[in-house]
Amino acid sequence: MKSFTFALRTTGLAAGLALLSVSGGAAETDALPTFDTNYITFSAGGADINGSKAAYQARTASAKTGAAGIEDMRFDYDLKDKTTLAVTGRALAGQEDYQLNFKLAKEDVGTFEVGYKTFRTFYDGAGGFFPIGNVWLPLFSRPLYVDRGQLSVHGTIALPKAPVISFSYTHSTRDGRKDSTILGDTNLTGIPIYAGPGSVNPVSATRKLLPTYLDLDEKNDAWEIGLRHTMANTSVVLSVGGNAIENVNVREMQQNIGELAVFPALVFTSPTVNNVRAGSPRRTTMTQRHEEDGYHASATFETVLSDKVTVFGGLLYHTADVEIAGSRLLTATLASATGINNYPGGFVNTGATARAPYHLVSKGDLEYSALTGNLGARFSPSPDLAIETALRGERWEDSGKNLVNYSSQGVTLATGAVTNYAATGLHAVDNVEKPWTPTVDVRYTGIKSVALYASWEYRTTKQNELVRYQGLNGATKATELDMIGKNIDEKHSNATVGMSWKVSPVMSLRAELFTKDHENEFAGYDDVLGRDYALNYDIYGTKLTAVVKPTHALSSTTRYVLQKSKSKVFHSGLTTVGVINGTVDGSDSSRHSISESITWSVSKALYIQANGTMVFDQLQTMYPWVSGNAKRNLRNSDNNYVTADGIVGFTIDKLTTGTIQGSYYRASNFDAEYAAVAMPLGASAKESTISVGVKRKLSEKTLLSAKVGYFDSENGTRGGYADFSGPLAYVSVQHAF
């Protein structure tokens, strides 16, 4: 494989440099041919990466070994009796990107299509970076990937003056290993842990840095049969279908790997830094199985009553039965009087108030159904005015139960004695939700050079949710029952008002105002009676666009987007000093985005396009009412960045064109000083690319393309451990038949 990769890179670079040696001087080209059918494109590409190859794959979605094969192909055949066959495909080894599709079409009869495709998505499997101890904990030295595949069959029967019947079947899969955003705990952060009389740790050494991964094995089969027919002024669409899901996903999590609290514990006469007294390793394997059989049926219609009024509507019913099963196998490694041993669900504090970790094995089932309907009308009272209004309603109902077996082992370190605990709990849920949503859309063009538009929707939901939870009690290690009931009332309104104005042949303007108002109230009953909660947040902003075209060869598009939000939280049990009646203002956000795009056709042999964006984005998480040590652990979340890219296209000679492309990205939101009190998470990175490409017509049926470039990526959020850079090369030959 290494020799193939080296040959691939060398061939690509050599081909690119050879094409670049064509004599310069701009000249108008003969039009390069474009092929829409009966062609095949062979290509090869790769990179010589220095640094993290796993990060390169995840960032660029390209295999580190490069890719070669058939990039694209299409062949059309005229068969007998007005029948055609189209074959399309792709086969790129290294990238593991394959596709083959056959489509047969017969005039006045219908079509039949069958195909298969698969492609690979890459992940780098890395955990977090911690600047104090310069800690970097990748999961594996090799990268991770997931393969996605789909087998599909589609067809239509379209006989003259008869309903059009369609059918489809897809079998989709997802298989492989990917990283997870859920990270495991570690004390190996470089923060001192003190031991001895009167010792106090100024800050905890524990941070979530250890990487976690998911093993995926997912299958989804879906089918549908439809009928479409028009009778007089009414069009009707009917369909029935179903799906079957079979997923088995496994999450592997590790905690405190490389640590072990020694026994007997060391004794110190004065406060001493002693990181040996860190946590003990735990390994957790969580398996989730989901099997679902679902069915749906729908009917829609549209009737033209007159040239000014059209009515439409529809119904959709969906139901499914779900079987779920899961397990959490937790193993703790502990040092005690009997040595170092592994304990299922093991914990060391066997006192009455200890909250034990535990194994669990569960199995249950869930049923849900949804009935959705809408009814609306479109009005055109005048040629300048169009109005559409509709009402959508839904009834969602789900219920299920899940039987769970808990087990754990309490270990007395002084003797090594083990106490086994076990309990059984029944979880259950019942939920009914009934949302209603009226909508209105209006467009008016009665003012010269101006178009006005507006839209509004208001979604209200009444929901009753009751959850029965029987967990493992921390005091007795026996079953504990909670009944959590909530009456939920939601109101969501969205509104948009805008206009477009062609000021002159040189300038066009567009302005839009939008607002989103969300109110969520949760009133508790049963075991949580009186524990009420409310979350209200408003989002509002504007979008402004100006398009200026002073000449036919030059145009500029400027866009500004402002979005702000304000939220308020009420909790009946909140008694923090400074909080009035349990109400907290916080999590306000603001976002400013400014972008510019310029296109300039300098001549028939030269064009330039440039784009740039600046974004200033902040979410307030440092609430003003927080004080004391808690305040130092809170930071506002920033996501500020700039991007720029450009391309120059030019003519080399009558048979050859060239391009020069570049891009740039920068973000500086990572706060290393924040590591002293919490986990710094802001994104900081700098990336740049440059490439030169050429395309040459070898004949009326053959095109040769090549590109060489350089990619440089610096990731400050990951301490430089995910940096990579290097040259890239690509060459392709396209031939028509």
pLDDT digits (tens, 9 = 90+) for 605-660: 999 999 999 999 998 765 555 666 666 667 778 899 999 999 999 999 999 999 99
| Among 122-126, 155-159, 665-669, the least confident range | 122-126
In this predicted structure, what is the pLDDT of residue 2? Answer: 40
The three-point CA angle 248-251-256 to 5° equals 165
Q: Pick from 464, 398, 399: which is nearest to 428 by CA? A: 399
Q: How many residues does the chain have?
A: 737
Residue 16: the pLDDT is: 37
3-class SS at 701? coil
Angle at 221 between CA 215 and CA 222, to 5 degrees: 135
Portion of the chain with pLDDT greater than 70, in percent: 90
Q: What is the pLDDT of residue 311?
A: 98
Query: Mean pLDDT over all residues of the chain?
Result: 89
Q: 588 vs 182, 533, 566, 636, 690, CA distance in Å?
A: 26, 18, 4, 10, 39
Residue 622 pLDDT: 55
Contact 275, 205 (CB under 8 A): yes
Q: Beta partners for 343?
A: 332
pLDDT band for position 142 (cuts 50, 70, 90): low
| The pLDDT of residue 576 is above 70 | no
How far apart are the C-alpha atoms of 103 and 88, rounded to whole Å? 9
d(CA 47, CA 413): 55
Cβ–Cβ < 8 Å for 397, 434: no
Phi-psi region of 96 (alpha: psi -120 to 50; beta: other; left: phi over 0): left
Confidence of residue 219 (pLDDT cuts 50, 70, 90): very high
Tokens encoding 133: 């101890």
Percent of the chain's residues with pLDDT above 90: 67
pLDDT band at 5 (very low <50, low <70, confident <90, very high): very low
When pLDDT is averaged across residues 416-445 and rounded to a whole number, the result is: 93
Q: What tens digit of pLDDT does each residue of 348-358 get?
A: 876 666 666 78
- Residue 585 confidence (pLDDT): 67
Residue 335's contacts (CB-CB under 8 Å, 6 or more residues apart) are: 260, 261, 262, 263, 280, 413
Region 330-341: what's the mean pLDDT? 93
237 pLDDT above the threshold of 90: yes
Statement: residue 9 has pLDDT above 70: no
The two structure tokens encoding residue 730 = 């690509």
Q: Using 50, 70 and 90 to split pLDDT, how confident is the model at 18?
A: very low
d(CA 62, CA 97): 11
The predicted model gives 651-678 an average pLDDT of 93
pLDDT band, residue 423 (cuts 50/70/90): confident
152-185 pLDDT tens trace: 999 999 999 899 999 999 999 999 999 888 889 9
> Tens of pLDDT along 223-236?
999 999 999 999 99
**Structure tokens, 223:** 């089918």
- Please report which confidence band the pLDDT of residue 14 belongs to, taking 50, 70 and 90 as the band edges: very low
Residue 568 pLDDT grade (very low, low, confident, very high; cuts 50, 70, 90): confident
Distance, C-alpha 498 to centroid of its chain = 30
pLDDT at residue 624, as a whole number: 57
Position 474 scores a pLDDT of 64
List of E strands, 527-571: 533-551, 554-571
What confidence score (pLDDT) does residue 21 get?
Answer: 36
Is 718:125 a contact under the CB 8 Å cutoff? no
End-to-end CA distance of the chain: 33
Q: Which two tokens stand for residue 609?
A: 């396009």
Q: Residue 573 pLDDT more than 70?
A: no
Better-scored residue on pLDDT, 331 or 277: 331
Tokens of 681: 């998470």
- State how far Cα 42 lies from the chain centre: 32
Higher-confidence residue: 12 or 182? 182
Pairing of strands 50-51, 39-47: unpaired
Residue 95: DSSP 8-state: T
CA 306 to chain centroid, in Å, comes to 44
For residue 161, give Cα distances in angstroms to 5, 104, 138, 301, 560.
58, 21, 64, 18, 51
Residue 469 — very low, low, confident or very high, per pLDDT cuts 50/70/90? confident
Residue at token pair 């909250």? 355
pLDDT given for residue 228 in this prediction: 97
Looking at residue 632, what is its pLDDT?
A: 66
Beta-bridge partner residues of 551: 554
Q: How far apart are CA 85 and CA 75, in angstroms?
A: 8
Strand partners, 26: none
Closest CA to 205 of 258, 262, 266, 277: 277
Neighbours of 500 (CB within 10 A): 17
SS3 for 629? helix
Q: Where is pLDDT greater, at 206 or 582?
A: 206
Quote the pLDDT of residue 583: 67
pLDDT of residue 637: 84
